[in-house]
């Protein structure tokens, strides 16, 4: 890994975990069980890719990235809620998440549903608090994040389409639409929000948007490839890039998307260093 | 019913339904099934008590209450999501809601979970759009509404406590805490947000807050009484005011809460007319 990115992760990840810890209700607060569940599923050693991308995009414009931590963490809360609900028996029915029992196995279904609801709600509460940004800007962040998380243009729409197409023939266009919505939208929002709050110019934001669109899809294509090669537990019957195109062509698609993402950042010059390093990191990750 | 309130309902309810219709994604937008579910469970002839209270509180300060409709409707979206998730098999397991199959019966569990998630997300998107209010004010609305909907101080906390105490001995203090959180918090937020966006003074807002706290609890006590007397289908094993105190004493508690609510509004003078009429309406409602 690029040494600058390594240093960044070493500083940003603990800071994000601390910000998440500060946002989440205490385990001692009543009703305790749901707060335990929210913490169990969020403070679990995740890689924090979305909040790290948000912080990195912010850091391209502002040296001190501490102010963006609660915003970046709010995005991780949404990711965390989506995993809890995706794992439910009525959805993907997964008993294990990141090597531990999934939320509804560790607690129970009702607690898992409500913990997800509470994390989603808390994400928006977290966006409403920071005093370092003007209200108008934070309100635009609420707009962008809610659109990226909801339907028809965001994560929930992607999850619905993913469930609907299970076991069915899926075209390449359909699969890229599912991946863009289910995974790409939130990743893209994370980067865009970081650059926006950092004060990026309108032309820079347009370039960042192009970068977002590419790495968001590339991220999930690479996930598909890892599922196919590492024996990871992707649910049977779900379409993937390797299933549709074969492994070699899928790798080529991911490489091309990452090349396009890098290209989109070219006008940003020096500012783009960390975000470019993210492309290498995501392209070469092993899990 | 007070004739002024009757006129108000006749104008406000269709306006709220139209605002909800405008906020909800079209049934023709892909993925259609979740948008159908969101509409099925929201546009169902509900009494719109929360958004009507929000509009009435706004109307105490501004003659033209159209600008507050998207905000009032966002609160109804949160109410709607909460009913869908409460009805799920893992929660209260109700097959019928307002005389129709509940969302997971009409569609399926996965769609119901995701429709709830999407309505909650859409509520915050709706708060981020109106141009008639300053960003700072809308951001404070996001803060107040998310706290009232989440945990530890809001609706999700109340639902958790309601599930946890099922079949157990519950004290009067516990029961009022559950009712305040599960029902009172969102009703209170609806009124407070209306007055706040209408431009109420700080002293008025403090009085409105006292009114909110009382009618929020009174609303659920009256609901308990209706359940006990009208043979409505309250889940067995859940504590209610009539179960704890008997019918007569419960009626007295509701009456006292409503008297206190009216009292809290006294300093508002003429402005309080509609909100006072709401006390009578809620006290005398039959369903």
Q: What is the pLDDT of residue A286?
A: 82
Other Cβ atoms within 10 Å of A259 Cβ, number: 14
Interface test with chain A among B108, B115, B121, by most A beta carbons within 10 Å: B121
Other Cβ atoms within 10 Å of B198 Cβ, number: 22
Cβ contact B142–A139 (<8 Å): yes
* Nearest CB partner across the interface for A117, out of B25, B108, B120: B120
Res. B235: pLDDT tops 70: no
Angle at B41 between CA B99 and CA B277, to 5 degrees: 75
pLDDT band at B239 (very low <50, low <70, confident <90, very high): confident
Q: What percent of chain A has pLDDT over 70?
A: 98
The alpha carbon dihedral of B16, B43, B138, B268 has a sign of positive
Q: What percent of chain B has pLDDT over 90?
A: 92
User: What distance in Å separates the CA atoms of residue A236 and residue A222, rounded to the nearest whole number?
Assistant: 18
Nearest chain B residue to A142, by CA = B128
Structure tokens at B277: 């009429």
pLDDT band at A1 (very low <50, low <70, confident <90, very high): confident
pLDDT in tens, A136-191: 999 999 999 999 999 999 999 999 999 999 989 999 999 999 999 999 999 999 99
Distance from CA of A118 to the nearest CA of B (A): 5
Contact status, residue A275 vs residue A204, Cβ threshold 8 Å:
no
User: What distance in Å separates the CA atoms of residue A234 and residue A216, rounded to the nearest whole number?
Assistant: 19
Interface test with chain A among B160, B170, B189, B196, by most A beta carbons within 10 Å: B160
Per DSSP bridges, beta strands B96-97 and A96-97 are unpaired
* Nearest CB partner across the interface for B122, out of A30, A114, A150: A150
Angle at A52 between CA A155 and CA A208, to 5 degrees: 70
pLDDT in tens, B165-223: 998 999 999 999 999 999 999 999 999 999 999 999 999 999 999 999 999 999 999 99
pLDDT band at B54 (very low <50, low <70, confident <90, very high): very high
Closest CA to B149 of B137, B141, B157: B157
pTM: 0.97
Interface test with chain B among A115, A121, A162, by most B beta carbons within 10 Å: A121
Q: What is the pLDDT of residue B237?
A: 74
3-state SS string for chain B = CCHHHHHHHHHHHHHHHHHHHHHCCCCCCCCHHHHHHHHHHHCCCCCCHHHHHHHHHHHCCCCCCHHHHHHHHHHHHHHHHHHHHHCCCCCCCCCEECCEECHHHHCCHHHHHHHHHHHHHHHHHHHCCCCCCCHHHHHHHHHHHHHHHCCCCCHHHHHHHHHHCCCCCCCHHHHHHHHHHHHHHHHHHHHHHHHHHHCCCHHHHHHHHHHHHHHHHHHHHHHHHHHHHCCCCCCCCCCCHHHHHCHHHHHHHHHHHHHHHHHHHHHHHHHHHHHHHHHHHHHHCCC
């Amino acid at each position: 890994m690029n040494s600058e990115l390594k240093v960044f992760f070493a500083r940003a990840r603990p800071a994000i975990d601390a910000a998440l810890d500060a946002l989440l209700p205490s385990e001692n607060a009543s009703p305790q069980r749901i707060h335990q569940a929210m913490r169990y599923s969020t403070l679990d050693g995740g890689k924090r890719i979305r909040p790290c991308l948000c912080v990195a995009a912010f850091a391209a414009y502002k040296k001190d990235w501490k102010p963006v931590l609660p915003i970046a963490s709010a995005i991780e809360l949404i990711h965390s809620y989506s995993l809890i609900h995706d794992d439910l028996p009525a959805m993907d029915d997964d008993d294990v998440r990141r090597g531990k029992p999934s939320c509804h196995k560790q607690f129970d279904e009702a607690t898992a549903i409500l913990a997800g609801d509470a994390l989603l709600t808390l994400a928006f509460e977290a966006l409403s608090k920071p005093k370092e940004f003007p209200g108008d800007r934070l309100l635009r962040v609420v707009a962008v994040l809610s659109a990226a998380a909801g339907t028809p243009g965001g994560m929930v729409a992607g999850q619905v389409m993913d469930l609907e197409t299970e076991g069915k023939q899926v075209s390449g266009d359909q699969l890229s639409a599912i991946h863009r919505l289910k995974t790409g939208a939130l990743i893209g929002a994370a980067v865009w929000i970081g650059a926006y709050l950092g004060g990026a110019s309108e032309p820079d934001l347009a370039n960042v948007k192009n970068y977002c669109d590419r790495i968001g899809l590339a991220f999930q294509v690479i996930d598909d490839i890892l599922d196919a090669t590492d024996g990871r537990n992707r649910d049977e019957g779900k379409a993937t890039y390797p299933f549709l195109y074969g492994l070699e062509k899928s790798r080529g698609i991911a490489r091309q998307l990452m090349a396009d993402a890098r290209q989109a950042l070219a006008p940003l010059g020096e500012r783009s260093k960390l975000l470019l390093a993210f492309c290498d990191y995501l392209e070469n990750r092993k899990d």
